[in-house]
Amino acid sequence: MVDFIISRKLTNSDELISRLESLPSYGNLIQNTDEPALFDDEQEPQSGLIDFIRRNSTAEPSTIDSPNIIGTEDSIEDDITTNETASTPITATNSADELRNQENDDNYELHLNLLKSRVKHLFILSENGKPVFTRYGDEDQLVTLMGVMQTLVSFAEIAQSSRLNYLKAGPCRIAFLHREPFVFVLVTHTNEHSMCLLQQLTYVYHQIISTLTLSRIKQKFNAQPNFDIRRWLSNAERKLLHNIIDMYEHDLGMLMTSARCLILPANIRGQIGQTVAQTIRGQQDMLFAIILAHGQLVSIARLRNYHLHPSDLYLLINLVNSTDAFKGVESWVPVCLPRFDPGGCFHAHISYLDDSCDVCLVLLTVNPEHFQILSDYKQVIHEKLRKQNLTIQIKLALDKTRLLTDEIACSDLRYFAYKSRGLSQYISSKLLQPYVTNEQHVRLFELIRYVYGRLHNRNHNLKIVYLKAEYESLLAWLAPGFELHVVFSPYATLETVTQCTDRILSYIKREESQLFIIRCEYF
Amino acid sequence: MTTSNEPISSNVYLVDYFIYCPLLCQKEGQEHQKILYYYPPDVEFNRQTRTVGYCEGLVKFTETFAFDDPCDCVHFQKTRLLFYQVENDICIAMTLHVPSIERKKDEKLIMEYYDEHINDRLMLSVLKISYRYFALEHGTIASLVQVNGVDQCRIILKKYFDKFIAYRLHTMILDATIDSSYFGVQFFQVEKKVYLKIQSLIRRLELRFASLKETLFLYRNQLIWSGLDQDDTRLIYSFFRVNYWPQLKSLLNTSTIRYLTVESSASPTDALLVSTHVTSQERFLGDLSLPYQIVAINFNWFTIFCVFHNDEELSNMAQTLEKIELLKKDLDEIVPYFEECSRKKYPATDPSVKNIYFNKMNMTHSSTMDWNREPTNNILVSIMNTLAEDLQWFHPSGNIMVKRENDPWIIAKRSDMRELLIMINQRNVNLKEISDKIKQIFPTQFSNILLLE
């Protein structure tokens, strides 16, 4: 009996691969589209790229540029300083001090317990061991711990001229990332692949330099190695850090470095894209115009030859999602996109195209002086989209919650995520029972991350991973043109798995034009 | 992108190996007192102290987070550090060099390190067994310190480990495989009648000696009977496989009773000593607090380990010899059966299907992998190692199947305490044929194994 079960499984596993590859939709999907990619997830960041574009842009004589940039950077600093003074507590009297000491002791105890709880901790400290950020608790209580972390990292570098990557304690991991002038530490209780650990830490690193800019941070630390960078981290920046960590646990796009698009009929998406591109055409300082709806990409238009990296897009999405202030007014924010240029700074014009603040327009320029120009563009785009009823169409698409799983019609299918490797975009079905609670959602994605880690192990070059776990079965398939992750009930047979996978692929082929942004719009 | 097929300019090697006990340092400035053993010996004191201090720091640091398991592996870019707390407050650690390749990139030579070429699970098993072998011969380090004092203990450790590292550890690190990592037991299955005969001859032998505690009975390199508890059985068995068997199998089997001892400080080729006089060796078993005397008897392809409480009876050489010689008749009687068994042709197993099975419950281990003849391909071995490591976290059961382009399927399965790894290397064979072949293989090899879905 037993051998029968196993043999059936093996047979099916072999069957699986041959059948998967002979699927009618397989051939179509592995061919990359001829269109130039919207995103480029292989793209290497180029330091100084923004300066280069700025110098070359014909719109402004380059001579006035530099002082202007400094001017704006100063103004950010001013902004932050105001924030900081607001949050600095008023000096307390002596008796209050004693009271606080008592509180501190209690707090310390509280923090020791907090560290022992089974949550995913993330710490940021400066190279000289000063606390910068902790995901849980108050970093002021963790001065000693952060000091230890700093010692562990720097000892490896100095004494062994090596790098401390991560350590294992059973299934738990503590990962370290040293990126001048910070050290990032992640503590996780699930058997996560080192690649995912590094990816999470890198997102956090990128998040912190996207608002503070690497060059500015480095400059400050060079002049003042003991500088407490927290003076520059307002509550808004902290919120961004918290949210980027949360988002990683809830969004597979960050793992697969691919953007998620709003499902929209191709002609409507085309009209939106063209409207935006035509409005902006001719403007050399503007690089990207992005429309987002609830964190999903509606349309992206860009200057020829410049690509946006999906991980940079997630920083923008995080910025938009985390900042309620954008909802009231048009905003003008400096933002660094590290995969584009870690040394430079974009200026983002962020505004909403509808009253209920569902549809967000993000315009990115290298010219800090162009607020008015971009604001005018926004007005024009807003008007045109409204007149053509396109804003309404976006909102309709948002309201229509697409499950996707019901269109596949397979009772054992629970969830799938499909990434088009050529487009660097992904689509996923809606999470249904039993993954509707946060706990289950996070657990499922941890499992998918485990399978993903196996699939993407750089030495193994695996093509298929099929995991039968306690509560579900997972199939991961890496083909030349796409990557597919499917979650089934634990009772699904391999026949069901292949059949269902076939349906998913043909569905995606059929609906490709509305699931993905196939055509890129240029200014 | 590089693959493991490319030449590795430096393979994995042992950087250091050390034993320390933080309690031995009384005052600041005397940190080097913590160190009980350090290899290589030419590392300067300060550096030794720093390295040990760093390990302590790491362990303390991880304790902050109250993990269920202690920190045991640290991945550095260039090295891998592995720990094992062997006794209260005594730790063994070793550092391995991560395989690296020097390559040219943008006109500059850079060193690339292949972290995944060292499997933590395999290396931890090597580290753990290195201590167990020591303790088998010397007992616990703590009792050595207590009885002989710290300085004497350092001398004993040095004497043992210098040789152990030179003769054994380097090869153990390079030759570690999933099979070697289990330290499981391979059983020889015999008919009921023969089994009862063996039982009775063992009982009779035990009755002849008042101080004979337990016996282990082996045929060739497989176990038939052990009266010891599982842990000790496994230890003595693996010690036998490593130290006795490689030479024993090349000795002519005679029809006289011989006595075996192992000089573990000698090089592996000279380690086994064979004598016609009764010889015994002191070994620490159970809670490692008391030494036992072990007599290893060899006759034909049989090896019998007799565990004595003390050597009082054994000191009467002539009498002991006489008592043991009585075995000969009993053994002679069962020899034909075993010869028959080894002549018997087993249905040839399919060469394209390889499997490894381990049951944690009774330490049963079997394998059809031939790691020497199977330079199958490093990548497949590496995948199997990784999956075997993952199996630890499948709870209570789970199953993972992976496939590379044009390579065999690898299946790793865990069912509670049982682990099974299968590699099926068949191409251009239709599904029916594969499933039929597996159906043939299972009744011969896994007929008595329950694998729950």
Domain containing B302 — which CATH number?
3.30.450.30
Q: Which residues of A touch B70 (CB under 8 A)?
A: 169
Against a cut of 0.90, is the pTM above it? Answer: no
Lowest mean pLDDT among B143-147, B204-208, B353-357: B353-357
β-partners of residue B87 are B90
**Banded pLDDT at B233 (limits 50, 70, 90):** very high
Distance from CA of B39 to the nearest CA of A (A): 17
Best A9, A13, A14 residue to mutate vs chain B (most B CBs within 10 Å): A14
What's the pLDDT score for residue B419?
A: 87
pLDDT at A41: 59
Higher pLDDT, B182 or A160: B182
Domain of residue B162 covers 13-182
Query: Would you call A2 and B449 a contact, using CB atoms and an 8 Å cutoff?
Result: yes
Sorting pLDDT into bands at 50, 70 and 90, what band is B442? Answer: low
pLDDT at A84 over 50: no
Q: Return the H-helix or E-strand segment holding B214.
A: strand B212-219
Q: To the nearest whole angstrom, how far is the Cα of A342 from the nearest Cα of chain B?
A: 21
Q: Count of CB contacts below 8 A, A vs B?
A: 185
What tokens does A494 get?
Answer: 């391999």
Asked if A510 reaches chain B (Cβ–Cβ under 8 Å), the answer is no
Q: In Å, how far is A167's CA from the nearest CA of chain B?
A: 4
The answer to whether the Cβ–Cβ distance between B75 and A116 falls below 8 Å is no
Q: How confident is the model at residue A103 (pLDDT cuts 50, 70, 90)?
A: low
Q: Is the peptide bond before B40 cis (omega within 30 degrees of 0)?
A: yes
Judgement on whether residues B136 and B81 belong to the same structural domain of the protein: yes
pLDDT band at B453; cut points 50, 70, 90: very low
Q: Output the pLDDT for position A25.
A: 52
**CB–CB of B383 and A7 under 8 A?**
no
pLDDT of A92 > 60? The answer is no
In a domain, B1, yes or no: no
User: Inter-chain contact B57–A152, Cβ cutoff 8 Å?
Assistant: yes
Q: Is residue B4, in this structure, part of any structural domain at all?
A: no
Q: pLDDT higher for A150 or B105? A: A150
Taken in order A260, A264, A267, A272, the sign of the CA dihedral is negative
Q: Bigger pLDDT: B63 or A409? A: B63
Point out which residues pair with A347 in neighbouring strands.
A334, A365
Q: Which of residues 86-125 of A touch B (CB under 8 A)?
A: 112, 115-116, 121
Q: Which of A58-62, A310-314, B63-67 has the lowest mean pLDDT?
A: A58-62
- The pLDDT confidence band at residue B154, using thresholds 50, 70 and 90, is very high
Order of strands, sheet of A131-134, starting from the edge strand that comes earlier in the sequence: A131-134, A121-126, A182-188, A172-179, A164-169, B73-76, B79-87, B90-97, B13-20, B35-39
Query: To which residue do tokens 């350090």 refer?
Result: B38
- A3 with B446: Cβ contact below 8 A: yes
Q: A188 vs chain B: nearest CA distance in angstroms? A: 10
Query: Is B62 strand, coil or helix?
Result: helix
pLDDT average, residue stretch A70-98: 40
Mean pLDDT of B407-427: 81
Strand runs (DSSP E) across A286-343, as ranges? 286-293, 296-302, 331-335
Q: Note whether B135 and B160 are same-domain residues.
A: yes
Q: Would you call A171 and B405 a contact, using CB atoms and an 8 Å cutoff?
A: no
Residue B77 pLDDT = 92
Question: Quick one: average pLDDT of B309-330?
Answer: 83
pLDDT-derived band at B240 (thresholds 50, 70, 90) equals very high
For residue A323, pLDDT beyond 60:
yes
Within-domain flag for B426: yes
Could you tell me if residue B269 is inside a domain?
yes
Residues within 8 A of A (CB atoms), B 305-334 only: none
Task: Indicate whether B239 and B305 sit together in one domain.
Answer: yes
pLDDT at B404: 80
**B134 is a domain residue:** yes
pLDDT in tens, B87-119: 888 999 999 999 888 888 778 888 888 888 899
Gyration radius (Cα) of chain B, Å: 24
CB contact under 8 A, B65 and A145: no
List of residues 6+ apart from A479 with CB closer than 8 A: A26, A29, A30, A463
Greater pLDDT, B76 or A103: B76
Q: What percent of chain B has pLDDT over 90?
A: 26
Contact in structure between A183 and A127 (CB atoms under 8 Å): yes
pLDDT at B430: 41
User: Inter-axis angle of helices B45-63 and A143-159, to 10 degrees?
Assistant: 140
Task: Please indicate, yes or no, whether residues B216 and B235 belong to a single structural domain of this protein.
Answer: yes
Residue A26 pLDDT exceeds 70: no
CATH of the domain at B133: 3.30.450
Mutation site, A4, A10, A477, interface B, largest B CB count within 10 A:
A10
How near does any CA of chain A get to the CA of B80, in Å? Answer: 10
Judge if B400 and B438 occupy the same domain: yes
| pLDDT over 50 at A514, yes or no | yes
pLDDT of residue A211: 85
In a domain, B200, yes or no: yes
Q: What is the dihedral of CA A131, A137, A142, A147, to 10 degrees?
A: -50
Among residues B323, B343, B363, the one where a domain terminates is B343
Whether residue B435 and residue A7 make contact (CB cut-off 8 A), yes or no, is yes
Write down which residue in B325, B343, B361 finishes a domain.
Answer: B343
Write the DSSP symbol of residue A1: -
Angstrom distances, CA of residue A56 to CA of A33, A285, A432, B164 = 31, 9, 50, 68
Buried b / exposed e over A238-249, threshold 16 CB at 10 Å, is eebbbbbbebbb
Given this model, what pLDDT does residue B126 score? 93
Tell me the residue type at A393: Q
Average pLDDT over residues A110-136: 86
Record: contact A165-B77, CB cut-off 8 A: yes
Option in A5, A11, A460 nearest B379 (CB): A460
Residue of B57, B438, B443 with shortest CB distance to A6: B438
Interface of A with B in 457-476 (CB under 8 A): 457-470
- Tell me what the pLDDT averaged over chain B comes to: 84
Supply the mean pLDDT for chain A.
79
Q: Are residues B234 and B287 in the same domain?
A: yes
Nearest CB among A152, A189, A464 relative to B58 is that of A152
Convert the pLDDT of each residue in B252-274 to its tens digit.
777 788 889 988 888 888 888 88
Q: What is the pLDDT of residues A247-277, one digit of tens each?
A: 998 989 899 989 888 888 888 888 888 888 8
Task: For A309-391, list the strands marked E by DSSP.
Answer: 331-335, 346-352, 359-365
Res B7 pLDDT > 70: no
What is the Cα–Cα distance from A331 to A333, expressed in whole angstroms? 6
pLDDT score, position B235: 92
**Quick one: pLDDT at residue B450?**
53
Judge if B339 and B366 occupy the same domain.
Answer: no
Q: Is residue B313 part of a domain?
A: yes
Are B39 and B169 in a shared domain?
Answer: yes
Residue whose C-alpha is closest to residue A227's, from A125, A113, A320, A299: A125
Q: Which of B1, B58, B439 sits opposite A7 (nearest CB)?
A: B439
A346-404 pLDDT, tens digit per residue, is 888 888 888 777 888 888 888 888 888 888 888 888 888 888 888 888 888 888 767 67
A348 forms beta bridges with: A333, A364
How many independent structural domains does chain B possess?
Answer: 3
Task: With cut-offs at 50, 70 and 90, classify the pLDDT of residue B437.
Answer: low
Is B438 in contact with A172 (Cβ distance < 8 A)?
A: no
Residue A75 pLDDT level (bands cut at 50, 70, 90):
very low
Residues near A121 by Cβ (< 8 Å), separated by ≥ 6?
A115, A134, A135, A136, A185, A186, A187, B65
pLDDT, position A78: 37
Beta strands in A315-412 (DSSP E): 331-335, 346-352, 359-365
Query: CB of A164 within 8 Å of any CB in chain B?
Result: yes
Tens digits of per-residue pLDDT, A464-497?
888 888 889 899 988 888 899 999 998 887 778 8
Would an 8 Å CB–CB cutoff place B450 in contact with chain A? Answer: yes
Closest CA in chain B for residue A479 = B405
Mean pLDDT computed over B191-206: 89
User: Are B213 and B310 part of one and the same domain?
Assistant: yes
Distance (Å, whole) CA A322 – CA A246: 12
Of A112, A160, A469, the CB nearest to B78: A160
**Chain B residues 405-424 within an 8 A CB cutoff of chain A:** 405, 409, 411, 413, 422, 424
Interface of B with A in 336-395 (CB under 8 A): 379, 382-383, 386, 390, 392-395
Residues of B within 8 A of A108 (CB-CB) are none
d(CA B451, CA A412): 24
How far A454 CA lies from chain B's nearest CA (Å)? Answer: 9
Collapsing DSSP states into helix, strand and coil, what is residue A176? strand
Q: Which of A14-28, A266-280, A500-514 has the lowest mean pLDDT?
A: A14-28
The closest CB to that of A169, out of B50, B71, B395, belongs to B71
Inside any domain, residue B187: no
Tokens matching residue B144:
């050595």
Inter-chain CB proximity A168 and B71 less than 8 Å: yes
Determine contact: B449 vs chain A, CB below 8 A: yes
pLDDT score at B3: 41
Pull the structure tokens for residue A226.
């003991």
Higher pLDDT, A83 or A447: A447
Confidence of residue A165 (pLDDT cuts 50, 70, 90): very high
At residue B215 the predicted structure's pLDDT band, cuts being 50, 70 and 90, is very high
- A114 pLDDT more than 90: no
Confidence of residue B445 (pLDDT cuts 50, 70, 90): low
What is the secondary structure of B157-187 as a DSSP string? HHHHHHHHIIIIIHHHHHH--HHHHH--BPB
CA distances from A303 to A32, A102, A274, A351 (A): 22, 59, 13, 20
Residues of B within 8 A of A460 (CB-CB) are 379, 382-383, 386, 402, 404
B384, amino acid identity: M
- pLDDT at res. A123: 92
- Do B203 and B164 have their domain in common? no
Q: Which residues of A250-277 are buried (b: 16+ CB within 10 A; e: fewer)?
A: ebbbbbbbbbbbbbbebebbbbbbebbb
Q: A330: buried, middle or exposed (CB in 10 Å: 19+, 13-18, 0-12)?
A: middle
Domains present along chain A, CATH in parentheses:
2-31+402-515 (3.30.450), 89-250 (3.30.450.70), 259-400 (3.30.450.30)
Q: B361 and B333, same structural domain?
A: no
Please tell me if residue B186 touches chain A, with a CB cutoff of 8 Å: no
Kindly list the residues from chain B whose CB atom is less than 8 angstroms away from the CB atom of residue A467: 398-401
Please state the ipTM of this predicted complex.
0.87
| Residues of chain A found within 8 Å of residue B383, distances taken between Cβ atoms | 460, 462
Strands B418-424 and B409-415: antiparallel
Biggest alpha carbon distance in chain A? 82
Q: Is the CB of residue B125 less than 8 Å from the CB of residue B176?
A: yes
**Amino acid found at A140:** D
C-alpha B210: how far from its chain's center? Answer: 32
Return the pLDDT at A76.
Answer: 37
Rounded CA-CA distance B284/B200 in Å is: 27
pLDDT band at residue A204 under the 50/70/90 scheme: very high
pLDDT at residue number A201: 93
Smallest CA–CA distance, residue A149 to chain B, in Å, is: 8
Predicted confidence at residue B75, as pLDDT, reads 94
d(CA A169, CA A438): 26
Structural domain ending residue among the three candidates B291, B322, B343: B343
pLDDT over 90 at B76, yes or no: yes
pLDDT band at residue B449, thresholds of 50, 70 and 90? low
A470·B398 Cβ contact <8 A: yes
Q: In this structure, are B159 and B35 located in the same domain?
A: yes
Tally of residues, chain A: 523
